[in-house]
Amino acid sequence: MYNSIPLLKKAFTGLVVGMVALMVGCSSNQSAPPSVSQNYDYVIGPGDTLDIFVWGNPELSTSVKVRPDGKITTRLVEDLEASGVSSSQLARNIEKAYAKYVKTPIVTVIVDGFTGIPQQQVRVVGEAAKPLNVPFRKHMTLLDVMIEVGGLSEFASGNSAVLVRRDSGDSQSTFDLRLNDLLKSGDISANVPLLPGDIIIIPEAWF
């Protein structure tokens, strides 16, 4: 019974990779992602930890975690929407809510512990050592993400990996990746810039 667990795990991983591969459709792969301009503003997502400071009212300052429904509860306001806005916009929203109780509140929100919304994550599926959803950071590259996921598994076909990137509307593009060259041969030319929402699919090698 216990010997079947690794087989089940591999079968599940293969199913996930297959399902994501269906998203790619029949589009032809491009050799490498183009250089991209990264005008990027982080927005808060479920799971983020927020430090809320109310100037002149330390008793109202607190640290909260954004709930799965995207809302937070502070010491004065319940069920305040936090997901999908920037920290500065959330601070302004808290100031409006607190104005009922505090004269001219000044609020600062600092994100301490990032998760992000799905559209601002880079998802790695398949034969990574630790498949993860990685919060995007400005100027993030393929190498940065592969370090986060612990590199390739022993079953990976790294040079057969692809990157799926959503274009405008419902269209998407796919790009070939050379993970073996990057991680095992140190070929830095195989490192490419990433964007929020990118999906990296790493298939299993056929032995």
Which residue, chain included where needed, has tokens 């929203």?
93
Which residue, chain included where needed, has tokens 């790009």?
175
CB 66 within 8 A of CB 50: yes
Indicate the pLDDT class of residue 199, thresholds 50, 70 and 90: very high
DSSP bridge partners of 201? 125, 162
- Whether 107 shows a pLDDT value over 90: the answer reads yes
The one-character DSSP state at 153 is -
Above pLDDT 70, what percent of the chain? 81
Provide the residue ranges of all domains of the chain, joining segments of one domain with +.
Answer: 14-40+117-202, 49-111
Segment 29-75, tens digit of pLDDT: 666 666 665 677 899 999 999 999 999 999 999 999 999 999 999 98
CATH of the domain spanning 14-40+117-202: 3.10.560.10
Above pLDDT 90, what percent of the chain? 71
Closest CA to 204 of 9, 7, 10, 4: 10
CB 134 within 8 A of CB 149: yes
| CATH class for the domain made up of 49-111 | alpha beta
16 SS3 class: helix
104 SS3 class: coil
Segment 150-197, tens digit of pLDDT: 999 999 999 999 999 988 777 889 999 999 999 999 999 999 999 999
